[in-house]
Structure 1
């Protein structure tokens, strides 16, 4: 009942009317810039296979749930401002467009870094569409081989000053027959602030159709060394996925009085 009530509250906040809205420092991309931006042919075909970048850009909100052993983790994101809210059994992490905050629901200590975590799974989940953001460069790389099949790769890198960790790099591997995204190799530079060649690997194992968009249903992590796929490590499922053209209410992301600001 608590989970159902929380999801109902989020939906109510999406569609409720609010006269006073705050000004956000993050600018939304103009429709002109969206229409005129040219992407490499291979990434464009991947966008199209997953429902189209234009369809994605009509959406203003994304909600998904990750079932975990200690309870569900529900992530809500404003797709334009990238404000976010992660509701967990013992904690809530939020980003109001300026600050990351942490709210403790009880005495349980949060084991992790909220600033690192607040948009981590959003980026993984919103693939391949977040690879259409500004400040990205694309480069073809050697394919990934798994069970005798080759998956062409596209290296993704960022301009200086883009996001929390512009040193991060991704490699999107895709099925050349279907143009569907298949794997994501990624580096983690949040803590070191230095580029690394130590890639981790996620298999986008299953997909689900949500509002004409093909979005992930299951992730599987594998070992990855010297660009060779290793042993299966773990998996993550996504349920209760919701997208909308309606903007989430700003109050959803506002820092509560008893929450801690994360520097």
Structure 2
């Protein structure tokens, strides 16, 4: 009789456990219909505020094409970049430099040798400077706090940017974005240089951003001024890079413009 009672009790317990399992409800969220705030979860808070001060990272990521003009020794250089593929074309009277998505190419339009930045890096060198701070939203980037920069009595907080291995042509590059502590507008960029032989690859170089203009809802610089540097500090200004005829749109550029012309040569 005792065994029957024990068996009955065990049966009741097992049945109760099964019943509990049947009635347990797990709440889930259907993320297909949820609008998630990805920006704040991906980027540091101070960088998000910098993005917002310049028009917002979502507005930037909706754009497909960027164009600007610079005056060079041989005439005007017009740069057009596909913001999704990063294909690029730099067109000037004496040369054209392009990137077809895989390789850079150079078309020399003169009888003399090409003089300028190595096209391997030159096709997007100024693009990276010009598209700060938004370019710092690219994949493969690591963020950390940097020592503030003090220049002429004003202190600018800093955000250090480094890269995962295999990101870009020179993943060992370091950038430091310095911003206005009140407005969060970008003021300075510190950066190391790893593609020019004979240059200290650890010392920071500096460029100062100014004359901001609003283009299609985004704050873009009209001037970027390089500075002399010493002991990771800017010293005296150089001649500024001036950007005119700036256009940024949600329409992608014609892909055919980035294809290497027959007379151009790929650059290894």
Same fold (TM over 0.5): yes
Pick aligned residue for 1:219 from 217, 224, 230: 224
In the other structure, the counterpart of 1:144 is: 149
User: Structure 1 residues 84 and 32, CA, compared in 2 at 3 Å: closer, same or farther?
Assistant: farther
TM normalised by structure 2 equals 0.82
* Aligned-residue offset at 1:68: 2.3
Tell me, which stretches of 5 or more residues in structure 1 are unaligned?
Answer: 1-30
Pick aligned residue for 1:228 from 230, 233, 240: 233
CA displacement, residues 55-84 of structure 1 (integer Å, 9 cap, x when unaligned): 000000000001223211111000000000
Tell me, which stretches of 5 or more residues in structure 2 are unaligned?
Answer: 1-34
Q: Distance in 2 between matches of 1:181 and 1:191?
A: 26
* Contact 1:66/1:237 (8 A) holds in 2: yes
Number of aligned residue pairs: give it: 232
Alpha-carbon RMSD across the aligned residues, in angstroms, is: 2.0
In the other structure, the counterpart of 2:191 is: 186
Q: Distance in 1 between matches of 2:40 and 2:260?
A: 37
Q: Out of 58-67 and 183-192, give the one that drifted further.
A: 183-192
Q: Distance in 1 between matches of 2:112 and 2:134?
A: 35
Instruction: Using CA pairs under 8 Å that are at least 6 residues apart, name the structure with larger relative contact order, 1 or 2.
Output: 1
In the other structure, the counterpart of 1:96 is: 100
In the other structure, the counterpart of 2:31 is: none
In the other structure, the counterpart of 1:69 is: 73
Task: Detail structure 1 runs of 4+ shifted over 3 Å in the superposition.
Answer: 31-37
In the other structure, the counterpart of 2:257 is: 252
* Aligned-residue offset at 1:32: 8.4
User: Structure 1 residues 35 and 228, CA, compared in 2 at 3 Å: closer, same or farther?
Assistant: closer
* Contact 1:155/1:172 (8 A) holds in 2: yes
CA displacement, residues 80-138 of structure 1 (integer Å, 9 cap, x when unaligned): 00000001120000000011100111213112311010100000000000001111011
* Aligned-residue offset at 1:35: 5.7
Q: Distance in 2 between matches of 1:255 and 1:228?
A: 41
* Aligned-residue offset at 1:36: 7.8
User: Structure 1 residues 35 and 205, CA, compared in 2 at 3 Å: closer, same or farther?
Assistant: closer
User: Structure 1 residues 32 and 63, CA, compared in 2 at 3 Å: closer, same or farther?
Assistant: farther
Larger radius of gyration: 2
Q: Out of 252-261 and 219-228, give the one that drifted further.
A: 219-228
Pick aligned residue for 1:58 from 29, 54, 62: 62
Q: Distance in 1 between matches of 2:147 and 2:250?
A: 38
* Contact 1:168/1:195 (8 A) holds in 2: no
User: Structure 1 residues 226 and 36, CA, compared in 2 at 3 Å: closer, same or farther?
Assistant: closer
* Contact 1:144/1:227 (8 A) holds in 2: no
TM normalised by structure 1 equals 0.84
